[in-house]
Amino acid sequence: MKNRSWPNIFSSESLYKKFFKPILAKDEGVDAEQLTQLALNSLRQASLYRNWPGISQALTQLEIELNRKDPRLEQKIFGCHFKNPLGLAAGFDKNGIAAGIWNNFGFGFAELGTVTWHAQEGNPKPRLFRLSKEKAALNRMGFNNNGAVTMRDILERQKLKSPGNRSSLIGLNLGKSKVTPLEQAHEDYASSLEILSSFADYAVINVSSPNTPNLRKLQDAKALRRLIKRLRRLPSCPPLLVKIAPDLDNIAIDSLTTVAFEEGLAGIIAVNTSIDRLGLENRIIAQTKNPLSQENGGLSGRPLRGRAIEIIQRLRKNAGADLTLIGVGGIDTPESAWERITAGASLIQIYTGWIFEGPALVPKILEGLVLQLDRHGFKNISEAVGSNVPWI
């Protein structure tokens, strides 16, 4: 794999280090949600006008800088061709406004959403907090998004290539609208997927966010089966996965694995954010002056790494080699990425780590994975999945 990054004061890494790194180095300062929205506004314009001169040239240069192509990283999973195993996790591009350019950032796939049938503002602000020292974040966003109909219009306007004809795949992460009663959740999810399925290489049933009241009750086997069966009745249902919480006990994890097998799900994504404070109970949130133990919301980033690995290992042990696992939570170095793959994940996703480390994290991880393939004598990334070999 040839490193094609170029030393330039206008490279994404240089710009990130100059403008974003100093902000992210401390908890206080620019509000975390405002900073995210600032970045998204720029990405929205770039995606919408990506074929315009100037913008097209900049995106091509970005692709040269951040993409790392190597056939050993390619996989065909649930009928989809992944150019590499690294994806952008759900939660960043909630409305799909940058769907046309995630390939330029080097990702093998990007998960849009979480999207709900009804547009909703989410929880009161402030609702996103940096924990800079720990490379973590606390969020209680509450599925803020513009709704499935608006996402459809946004994706149509970007004139995306159809599923199967993209160099970088698109997943859709679906959630329940807050106003929808739990007993009607299956219809809420189905309404969203029905109008968005034509854009999706795969779809994810998000029943694990801690920020929508009672949502996690849908992880119950009976409720999840009902939801899956309803989505399967749609005429163009893409491969379905379920995203689970890190706070489930082993019995619940095993039950979910059984449901996934029996209902023929394409895979499981592990894990979402955690309501466990993972040893940070007394950590003070700078903006509220309260300890983390007194704040609502889900914890993401580096503190999740240990628990996320445990769950992937348990899922792989019980599921065997047939069920696809996507590992997410606390991946922010090439070593942590390799660790998740050898624990049993065929694909991995990043979000919080990508924010703290910047765009260069993508090529760094991909280069690290290829290096480990060479050192262990693996012919491709699939051979490394579940191998439990160490980082050397």
Q: Is 351 annotated as a binding residue?
A: yes
Residue 151 labelled as part of a binding site: no
Q: Which of 209, 274, 336, 382 is catalytic?
A: 209
Q: How many residues does the chain have?
A: 392
Question: If residue 364 lies in a helix (H) or strand (E), which one and from where to where?
Answer: helix 361-376
- Residues near 217 by beta carbon (within 8 Å), at least 6 away in sequence: 182, 223
Amino acid at the residue 331: I
Find out whether 18 is annotated in a ligand binding site. Answer: no
User: Cβ contacts of residue 95 below 8 Å, gap of 6+?
Assistant: 112, 115, 145, 146, 150, 151, 154
Asked whether residue 142 is marked as a ligand-binding residue, the answer is: yes
- Report yes or no: 304 and 272 within 8 Å, Cβ to Cβ: no
Distance CA 213, CA 15 (A): 39
- Any known ligand binding at 261? no
Ligand-binding site membership of 93 (annotated): yes
> Annotation-wise, does 94 bind a ligand?
yes
139 is in an annotated binding site: yes
Tell me the sheet residues that pair with 266: none
Tell me if 245 is assigned to a ligand binding site.
no
- CB-based contacts of 79, cutoff 8 Å, min separation 6: 239
Contacts 24+ apart (CB under 8 A), 14-18: 16/358, 16/359, 16/360, 17/358
Q: State the Cα–Cα distance between residues 68 and 86, nearest whole angstrom.
A: 11
Q: By the 8 A CB rule, do 15 and 381 touch?
A: no
Distance CA 46, CA 359 (A): 16
State the greatest distance between any 2 C-alpha atoms of the chain, in Å, as a whole number: 56
Q: Is 197 a catalytic residue?
A: no
Please check if 91 is assigned to a binding site: yes
> Residue 301, annotated ligand binder?
yes
Q: At what angle do helices 250-262 and 305-319 cross, to 10 degrees?
A: 50
The HSE-up count of residue 259 (CA atoms within 13 Å, CB side) is 24
| Cα dihedral across residues 211, 214, 218, 221: positive or negative | positive
Q: Determine whether the annotation assigns residue 49 to a binding site.
A: no
* CA–CA gap between residue 164 and residue 19 (Å, rounded): 37
* 189 assigned ligand-binding residue: no
Asked if residue 202 belongs to a known ligand binding site, the reply is no
CB 358 within 8 A of CB 13: yes
Does 150 carry a binding-site annotation?
no
Rounded CA separation 84/76 (Å): 10
Q: Is 368 annotated as a binding residue?
A: no
Strands (E) across the chain are located at: 75-77, 80-82, 86-88, 109-115, 128-131, 136-139, 169-174, 202-206, 240-244, 267-270, 298-301, 324-328, 347-350
Q: Is 273 annotated as a binding residue?
A: yes
* 206 annotated as a binding-site residue: yes
Annotated binding residue at 271?
yes
Q: Is 243 annotated as a binding residue?
A: yes
Residues of each annotated binding site for substrate:
94, 139-143, 206, 211, 272-273
Give binding residues for FMN as ranges.
90-94, 114, 173, 206, 243, 271, 301, 330, 351-352
Question: Where in the sequence numbering do the catalytic residues fall?
Answer: 209
Please report, in range form, the residues annotated as the binding site. 90-94, 114, 139-143, 173, 206, 211, 243, 271-273, 301, 330, 351-352
